[in-house]
Structure 1
Amino acid sequence: MKSKKPLKTNATRILDGLGIEYEILEYEVDEHDLSAENVASKLGLSPSRTVKTIVLKGDRSGVFVCCLGGHREIDMKKLPEITGDGNIETVPSESLLTLTGYVRGGVSPLGMKKSFKILVDKGVLNEERISVSAGKRGLQIWLRPTDLVCATNASVVSFSKEKHQTL
């Protein structure tokens, strides 16, 4: 679904300023399911092509951001080796707006209020194009993963694992 009129967010303005090509994808928001898998389903994409943005806080490194495919989860055994933290926790959703300028389900790694270290999972680079939040629920940015890395000055590392399936 391509947008009829150009929609602008902080994230798209950054991409425009860098001359990075992208498309805006719109989907109907389900307030009860903000998962990357649900967004992927609504857009007709594979969850591996729908990148989720998770904000975390380490006891040594402070706040940082992880971007990974919607079909994966953070491996909390690998992450401390990468960040040097002894303890890492997910930032509570009620703190996201104050910290990043974005709400849960609409957190983009682009255009946050403050500049945080961004980690992009290596597996994201296996995709030709990915969708990532445009900074607003119901809007995704469709772009090359290398452009996301460039625009966010991210470090590409391996920190995810397959999601555990619950029965």
Structure 2
Amino acid sequence: MAAAVKKTNAMRELERAGIAYTVHTYVHDDDDFSGARIAAQLGEDPDQVFKTLVTVSPEGAHVVCCIPVDHELDLKRAAKAAGVKALSMLPLRALTPTTGYVRGGCSPVGMKKLFPTVIDETCQLFDTIMISGGKRGLQLELEPDALVAFCGARIAAITQEG
């Protein structure tokens, strides 16, 4: 029998909100944070597995962006969707103090505070998507509409074309 998974902030918050999710675990590699590798390990379509990226505006406002793991974030599109002038990636050293999460385990759910969130429009192509469960080795599968509603997220085309 598999060991029980210790609840994360993301799991507790989804449960408090009455949002159904399914837990998926994978073996994480501290040297390889490849979302495509994680999707393959889970046997899932990489377009259905979303990574969480934290950005910052020149004024210091944070914006969370969720995109498919094998895509690149288009910072200009993300800024436009968030209604700010420009965005850049949050420096890695600031990730944990800002969100409470570590690289490879950052979830849009359960951060230290709720930041404006933009989710790539491709989430609407699936009945369920996967996001980080709030720690390395853990993914949560849930309905995209539930995630959008919980985060108060905007849906927009925020990946690079091509």
What is the TM-score of this pair, normalised by structure 1? 0.89
Equivalences for residues 84-95 of structure 1 within 5 A: 84-95=83-94
Equivalences for residues 146-161 of structure 1 within 5 A: 146-161=145-160
Query: What SS is found at the alignment partner of 1:33?
Result: coil
Q: CA deviation at 1:40?
A: 0.5
Query: What SS is found at the alignment partner of 1:49?
Result: coil
- Contiguous gaps of at least 5 residues in structure 1: none
Choose 13-22 or 68-77, whichever is displaced more.
68-77
* Counterpart position of 2:132: 133
Q: CA deviation at 1:6?
A: 4.6
Separation in 2 of the partners of 1:153 and 1:85? 17
The residue type paired with residue 67 of structure 2 is L
* Counterpart position of 2:7: 8
Choose 85-94 or 41-50, whichever is displaced more.
85-94
Work out whether residues 61 and 84 of structure 1, in 8 Å CA contact, stay in contact via their aligned partners in 2. Answer: no
Query: What SS is found at the alignment partner of 1:39?
Result: helix
* Counterpart position of 2:47: 48
Work out whether residues 48 and 123 of structure 2, in 8 Å CA contact, stay in contact via their aligned partners in 1. Answer: yes
Q: CA deviation digits over 1:105-145, x for unaligned, max 9?
A: 00000010012101111111111111100110000101111
Kindly indicate which of the two structures has a greater share of residues assigned to strand: 1
Separation in 2 of the partners of 1:84 and 1:155? 11
Q: CA deviation at 1:60?
A: 4.0
Choose 3-12 or 130-139, whichever is displaced more.
3-12
Work out whether residues 60 and 84 of structure 1, in 8 Å CA contact, stay in contact via their aligned partners in 2. Answer: no
Q: CA deviation digits over 1:6-41, x for unaligned, max 9?
A: 531110111111111111100000112112112101
Separation in 1 of the partners of 2:43 and 2:3? 18
Say whether 1:97 aligns with 2:99: no
- Counting aligned pairs with the same residue, the percent is 36
* Counterpart position of 1:80: 79
The residue type paired with residue 100 of structure 2 is G
Equivalences for residues 117-128 of structure 1 within 5 A: 117-128=116-127
Work out whether residues 57 and 84 of structure 2, in 8 Å CA contact, stay in contact via their aligned partners in 1. Answer: yes
Query: What SS is found at the alignment partner of 2:51?
Result: strand
* Counterpart position of 1:33: 32
Work out whether residues 57 and 91 of structure 1, in 8 Å CA contact, stay in contact via their aligned partners in 2. Answer: yes
Relative to structure 1, is the Cα distance of residues 22 and 96 closer, same or farther in structure 2, using a 3 angstrom cutoff? same
Work out whether residues 60 and 86 of structure 1, in 8 Å CA contact, stay in contact via their aligned partners in 2. Answer: no
The residue type paired with residue 105 of structure 2 is G
Q: CA deviation digits over 1:65-108, x for unaligned, max 9?
A: 00011122212332332234343210111111100000000000
Choose 111-120 or 73-82, whichever is displaced more.
73-82
Work out whether residues 101 and 113 of structure 1, in 8 Å CA contact, stay in contact via their aligned partners in 2. Answer: yes
Query: What SS is found at the alignment partner of 1:46?
Result: coil
